[in-house]
A and B are shown apart, each in its own frame.
Chain A
C-alpha cells in the first residue's frame, strides 16, 4: 500500500537555526512528492515538489527538500528558521493516476 509518514508530530527550533521536517514514503514505482504548509485558519499552500531530475528541490520562502531514493525520504529543510515559519507542514505523495496521500502533518514551532 502507498503511504507517507511524518514521524514527528512537532519540531521545535530556535530562530536562526537550521530546520528539518522529516518525511518518508512507500510507493511502488516513481513517486511525485510534495510539501505543503498550513498557517492557522488557512488552507494548505504549496511549497515545493519533486517530479524528476535534480534530487535537491528549491521552493517558496527559502525552503528546500532533498529526494533520497535509497532511503525513501523527502525531508524539508531551511538553513535559517524564522518565527514566521511556525506552521503545520504536510508531506504528500502521488502515484498512479489521481491518487495522492498526505502525511499526518508536523507542527513546526520556531522559538524567538
Chain B
C-alpha cells in the first residue's frame, strides 16, 4: 500500500529535550515536506526537500532541522523544543515533475504527529 508513515503519532516532551519525528514514504517520491497545523492558521510549511541531500526552508523553519540522506526518509529534528512548537505535524510527499517541482503535483500526507512541549 502506498503510504507516508510518521512516528511517533503522539509525543509529550519537555522544553529543551531534543527529539526527532521520523517520516518515510514508499512511493519513490522525490519531493518531501514538513508542515505544522495550528488552529486558525491552517498548514504552514516548515522545510521541504527536492531530493536526496537537497533541502530548503519553508515559511516557518526556525527551531527545526531536517535531513534527507535517503530518498524515502525525511526526519524532522527539534534540537531544543519550546512550548510554541506544540502543534500537529504532517509529513507529505509528491512526485517531482521535471521543471515544475512539486507545484504541479498533489501531495500525499502522513497521519500526523501531535507534539506537546511542556
Residues of chain A whose beta carbon lies under 8 Å from any beta carbon of chain B: 6, 32, 34, 36, 41-46, 49, 51, 90, 92, 94-105
Q: Secondary structure at chain B's binding surface: helix, strand, loop or mixed?
A: strand
List 16 extra interface pairs beyond A90-B42, A94-B103, A97-B101, CB under 8 A: A32-B104, A36-B109, A41-B111, A41-B112, A43-B90, A43-B111, A46-B106, A49-B106, A51-B104, A94-B104, A95-B103, A97-B103, A98-B48, A100-B103, A100-B107, A104-B42
Given A44-B90, A44-B109, CB of A103 within 8 Å of CB of B101: no
Most A CB contacts (10 A, CB to CB) among B40, B103, B108, B111 go to B103
- Shortest beta-carbon distance, B28 to chain A, in Å? 18
Interface residues on B, range: 20 to 34
The answer to whether A104 touches B48 (Cβ under 8 A) is no
Q: Give the tally of cross-chain contacts (CB within 8 A).
A: 60
- Shortest beta-carbon distance, A83 to chain B, in Å? 23
Partner pick for A45 among B35, B43, B109, B112, CB 8 A cutoff: B109
- Shortest beta-carbon distance, A13 to chain B, in Å? 22
Q: How many Å lie between the Cα of A104 and that of B41 in the bound state?
A: 5
Given A97-B101, A98-B31, CB of A46 within 8 Å of CB of B42: no
Interface members, chain B 41-69 (any A CB < 8 Å): 41-45, 48, 50, 56, 59
Q: Does B4 contact A (CB under 8 A)?
A: yes
Q: Does B102 contact A (CB under 8 A)?
A: yes
The answer to whether A46 touches B103 (Cβ under 8 A) is no
Residues of chain B whose beta carbon lies under 8 Å from any beta carbon of chain A: 4, 31, 35, 40-45, 48, 50, 56, 59, 90, 92, 100-104, 106-112
Name the B residues within 8 Å of A41 (CB-CB): 111-112
Name the A residues within 8 Å of B100 (CB-CB): 97
- Shortest beta-carbon distance, B37 to chain A, in Å? 8
The answer to whether A43 touches B41 (Cβ under 8 A) is no
Q: How many Å lie between the Cα of A9 and that of B116 in the bound state?
A: 25
Name the A residues within 8 Å of B108 (CB-CB): 46
Partner pick for A103 among B42, B48, B106, B109, CB 8 A cutoff: B42
8 closest A-B pairs by beta carbon, nearest first, are A43-B109, A94-B103, A46-B106, A104-B42, A102-B43, A98-B101, A44-B109, A97-B101
